[in-house]
Amino acid sequence: MDALVIIGLGGIGGAIAEPLCRYLDHTAYIKQVKLIDGDRYEARNSERQQAATGQNKAEAWAKRLSGSFRSLTVSTVASFITPDNIRLYLPDNSIVMLGVDNHATRKLVQEHCSRLRNVVLISGGNDYYDGNVQVFAKKNGRVLLQPITCFHPEIESPSDRRPDELGCDEELPSSPQLLFTNFMAASLMLNELYLVLQDQFQHSEVYFDIRANAARSLTRTNKLTLSTKEAQRLKQRSSSIRVDE
């Protein structure tokens, strides 16, 4: 792969950025890192993120990472991913770490990645205590892990909108977030990235719950879409895993 792209530098993407670049700085895998986010830090972000209010998230992280990891070329896109710019910013032979908070953008990115020949998409999201990580992989035109839309109807048919679709006075609906849940999502995404870099494509999805201190991975080989009820059942089963089992 030629480049690694992080989309969304909020709670999850921000937790990914530094350890990921530290690892790449000391290995020979990838030296091109692109950070994409059109959002700016607000005072309310200080509970989980470190940056000056008003700074663009991608630009703030690029400045920090470029100064620390000299072997990497860190570039920024201080705008949201849209249908008009996605082909420019997400080329073939990319690994995409997707840390956005809306299904509409997830669907847009997945649909674009499905058209590429060589690509890996690792998407993470969470509620207050639990969440999931999904992996889509395609190598030499062959699908190794199914699209993230296949098993989640809420992504295939999103009821929300992308940030670029909102008016000047509109904001994306948000819910409270817990720092430690963001960290677990980020850690599991990095775990999946490590496997991908070893050419191991093992997990389609990982469910996790910090209250149980547990995670459960799944590998799906068919294209059947889970119903919302079935997906919720798997999520609840993951949450019930005991540490001592």
Report d(CA 47, CA 21) in Å as an integer.
Answer: 23
What pLDDT is stored for residue 244 in this prediction? 32
The encoded tokens of residue 160 equal: 């929300």
In this structure, how many other beta carbons lie within 10 angstroms of the beta carbon of residue 192?
27
Q: What pLDDT does residue 199 have?
A: 96
The Cα 86–Cα 83 span in angstroms is 6
pLDDT, residue 163, reads 92
Domains and CATH numbers, the chain: 3-239 (3.40.50.720)
Residue 10 CB neighbour total at 10 angstroms? 19
Low-confidence ranges of the chain (pLDDT < 70): 41-53, 168-173, 221-245
> What is the distance between the alpha carbons of residues 198 and 205, in angstroms, rounded to a whole number?
18
Q: What is the pLDDT of residues 14-58, one digit of tens each?
A: 999 999 999 999 999 999 999 999 988 665 655 556 666 678 999
Query: Strand, helix or coil at 196?
Result: helix
pLDDT in tens, 163-175: 999 876 666 667 7
Q: Which of 167, 185, 175 is nearest to 44 (CA)?
A: 175
Confidence (pLDDT) at 69:
96
Q: What is the pTM of this model?
A: 0.88
What pLDDT does residue 168 have? 63
Q: Is 199 helix (H, G, I), strand (E, B) or coil?
A: coil
Say how far apart CA 30 and CA 24 lie, in whole Å.
6
CB 102 within 8 A of CB 170: no
Q: Name the amino acid, one letter, at 101.
A: D
Distance CA 35, CA 31 (A): 13
**pLDDT for res 50:** 66
